[in-house]
Amino acid sequence: MTNTNISFNKRKLESLKASTKPTWYYATNFEGLALVVGKKKKTYYAHWAIPVVDKATGNLKYVGKRKKLGGFHIPLDEIKAMVRQKLDDLKTVSLSADGSLTVGGLCSAFIKNGSAGYRVKVKGAKIKYKKKTTFNYNFFLNTYVLLKTKKQEIISMMTDPFRFNGAGYVTGALKDIPLNKVSKRDIEIFHTRMEPIKISANRALAALSVAFDWDMKRSTDRLYKGDNNPCLRVSKYQENKDKKHLVLNKVIEVRNYCLNEQWRDPHFLTFYALCLEIGERLSDLFRLVWHKPQSEKEIKNCSGWLQLAAQIQLQVKVIIFQFQRCVGNLPQPSGENVKMDSPVSLVHLSVMVMAIDQQMMALLK
């Protein structure tokens, strides 16, 4: 099979001879028109190319498509009219069928190349997504946008005919909408479909918005060509969060117990006091380690380290420095029996003990 580009006119096409191997001729003077010359007949085709996300690399590439129009007996002007009428619709259908420049294609690209990378809504230094955040983004996009789930009730909820704002019924899934036609209304329909599960609806909307932001900030191979994120200004469902707080007196009582009863269970009470003081996620505190890990894998699996030995050395240096300063500022004892080079007096020792005691209390806190 060979390909040739020629100018399409009646005399030129009639002069094309049949061959044992099919030969494709593409019109240089008319977009989207082709003719295949076989052994026994000639046939007109419409042809076009669509951008597709490469599953291996995540980059954008173009794939050719063809659609049979009719035999050579049809007049050339009539064939051209058919191409003008059908070409745009054929491109749209191909985009949806191949999942290339669709909302689903964008989400797939984000899951493969973006969800484990750097945050897109953070100013300043680059910060990578935590594993839990990556997992949640991928879960909500796979389940509610790409519909990769075995739960038929979810698939029905997202695809069945749906009455929206009393303006008739809408059909189809969000993942099949081409990116050049997706609008805020499509996102609102997607969000409204999930009304029975309001919190999941808000999470899925947030993940979808992040996916659009990620694509819009890419310097190359950008899929969505719009200027504004269609997920913006879509109203979320109100969430009634269950926030219960301890009264202040109870908090102080628990804190004092943790500090004063360390001998009962040092590790547990220290960890409990840490949770009470800083209010971080338990998953972050559970992965906190004493010393800096040695390997890159261990560093990635932990949430931080305390460097206990270095901190103790620092505190000892501070204690010694403060003791020396205190001793230097104290007046020398007077009396006939006291020499200037005599050992440190009890007063000096008391100052040292007090300094050490204060630093140890600071370490415990």
pLDDT, tens digit (0-9, with 9 covering 90-100), for 169-182: 888 899 888 888 89
Query: In this structure, what token pair is assigned to residue 365?
Result: 């806190």
Closest CA to 141 of 230, 196, 55, 206: 206
224's torsion region: left (phi>0), alpha (psi -120 to 50) or beta?
A: beta
Average pLDDT score over the chain: 79
What is the predicted pLDDT for the residue at 196? 92
Question: Is 208 a residue whose pLDDT tops 90?
Answer: yes
pLDDT at residue 315 in the model:
67
Q: What is the pLDDT of residues 39-82, one digit of tens each?
A: 888 899 988 887 666 666 656 677 788 888 888 888 888 888 88
Strand ranges (E), 164-230: 169-170
Query: What's the rounded Cα separation, in Å, for the pair 218 and 203?
Result: 23
**Cα(59)–Cα(235) distance, rounded to whole angstroms?**
33
Average pLDDT over residues 277-292: 78
Strand-pair partners of 35: 25, 44
With CA atoms as reference, report the closest residue to 211 among 197, 222, 198.
222
The answer on pLDDT for 26 being more than 70 is yes
Q: What is the pLDDT of residue 143?
A: 94
H-helix or E-strand spanning residue 321: helix 308-329
Does residue 330 register a pLDDT over 50?
A: no
C-alpha distance across the termini of the chain, in Å: 80
CB contact set of 40 (below 8 Å; sequence gap of 6+): 18
Higher pLDDT, 88 or 197: 197
Percent of the chain with pLDDT over 90: 19
Whose tokens are 């007109």? That residue is: 44
Q: Which two tokens stand for residue 346?
A: 């009890």
Query: Does pLDDT of 332 surpass 70?
Result: no
Query: What does the longest C-alpha to C-alpha distance in the chain come to?
Result: 132
Sheet strands side by side (includes 33-37): 2-6, 23-27, 33-37, 42-53, 60-71
pLDDT attached to residue 342: 39
Q: Is there a contact between 25 and 6 (Cβ–Cβ < 8 Å)?
A: yes
User: How far is C-alpha 279 from the chain's CA centre?
Assistant: 25
| Extents of the domains making up the chain | 2-97, 106-216, 246-305, 307-365
Q: Are 167 and 198 in contact (CB under 8 A)?
A: no
Tokens 């049809």 found at: 74
Predicted TM-score (pTM) of this structure:
0.55
At 336, is the pLDDT very low, low, confident or very high (cuts 50, 70, 90)? very low
